[in-house]
Amino acid sequence: MAAVILSARALTRHFGGLRAVDGVDFDLHQGDIHALIGPNGAGKTTFVGLLSGRIPAQSGTITLAGEDITRLPAHARVRKGIAYTFQITSVYPRLSVFDNVALAVQQGTDRDLGPAVMAALSRVNLADRAEQTAGTLSYGHQRLLEMGMGLALRPRILILDEPTQGLASGEIANFKALIRSLVPETTVLLIEHNMDVVMDLATRITVLNLGQHLATGTAAEIRANPAVQDAYLGGHHAAD
């Protein structure tokens, strides 16, 4: 089994009386495509917010390749190789596609800007739209641009929050091919409600329920897990 690149132990975040993330243990293995699933209110978005540093942990630890990053702010985690693309598209609508990615590249390193931007745009099949104003892209293309911005950071870990939401079926096929092309150089963690995408893509799946870790396993193991069926797969597929 590949080495653990990102690890959480007893990770906890409460909001008032709500236990959004309640003592979760989690391991992300190098080169995996790891899906995070669970019913509405399971705590998935809060959990990846804790991993990326956008939300501070109340207790517990997070380590990246053995280094404790629990107290590091989000921008410092980006520099260490954790890129997080958001559930709501976060492109700059008035800037060109090229300039959106250029801003991301500048955050990452002092690389030669033009080639680095075009390489990232080529990965997400948007090189021919480099001069287009980002706000005029279709929703699906804006999601791809957002991924290009994440990839421009050359992350060790790419965290994707609902990446296929709003994509047409043809775009989903392209998205799956893109994700497969990233590993093993990049490790991928995705929150995803489309179970066909999860079962097809994920090498490992973790299920959260009511802020707690319910199960981790392969697609076949998760499908066959009675506790997961009760909590999620057998029930309604609510949106987060």
Residue pLDDT, tens place only, 26-56: 999 999 999 999 888 888 989 999 999 999 9
Which two three-digit tokens encode residue 24? 């979760």
pLDDT at 110 over 80: no
pLDDT at residue 236 in the model: 45
DSSP 24-39: EEEEEETT-EEEEE-S
Provide CB contacts within 8 A for 174, sequence distance 6+.
125
Peptide bond preceding 115 in cis form (omega within 30 of 0): no
Domains and their CATH numbers in the chain: 31-55+73-233 (3.40.50.300)
Q: How far apart are CA 104 and CA 22, in angstroms?
A: 33
Q: What is the pTM of this model?
A: 0.88
DSSP 132-164: SBGGGS-HHHHHHHHHHHHHHT--SEEEEESTT
Rounded mean pLDDT, 208-222 = 93
Percent of the chain whose pLDDT exceeds 90: 56
> Per-residue pLDDT tens for 73-100?
988 998 899 988 865 557 889 999 999 9
